[in-house]
Amino acid sequence: MPPLPPRALAALDAFAFSSALACAAAALAAAAGRAMGLAPNGAVLVLAFAGTIVVYCADRLRDLARDRTTAPRRSAFVARHRLALCAFAGLAAAAALAAGLAAGVRVLPVAALGAAFGFAHRRLKAFVWLKPFYITGAWTAVCVGLPWAASGRTPPGA
């Protein structure tokens, strides 16, 4: 298979390194909601997508110096496009806030929990043994907790 042309590779870098792959959070939230018998909630999907972009962009921008050795290609991309990533994260933060408010008050504590895990990553990633727990907590809060909270259902037995 021939190598990708430089423009195609640059487009893939932009997609991957700018956190646009946060669409996985929205897809997983939709899938988890469907598995729980819930109708898709657009505000929850936007919150999952945009909130994940904010967390990933913040991590990549704040930890650029330390990431240069572990992810040099991504770090070079982040350094070159710092201003655009800041703007992207700002727009995503505005979208996440609007979607969170539209999704309802029950969603906000769950979103805050996912965000807290995500923003703590920079400090916690030094503790390798802890990583599976806080990463799982963040993704579970976003992908399972948000659709459940937005549904208005109460836990079984409550």
Nearest-5° angle of CA 51, CA 55, CA 56? 115
Mean predicted confidence (pLDDT) in 14-25? 79
Does the structure show a pLDDT above 90 at 148? Answer: yes
Average pLDDT, the chain: 89
pLDDT band at 158 (very low <50, low <70, confident <90, very high): low
Question: pLDDT per residue over 109-141, tens digit each?
Answer: 999 999 999 889 888 888 999 989 999 999 999
> Is-above-0.85 flag for pTM?
yes
Question: pLDDT per residue over 61-94, tens digit each?
Answer: 998 888 888 888 888 888 988 999 999 999 999 9
Please give the class, per CATH, of domain 8-151: mainly alpha
Does the structure show a pLDDT above 90 at 20? Answer: no
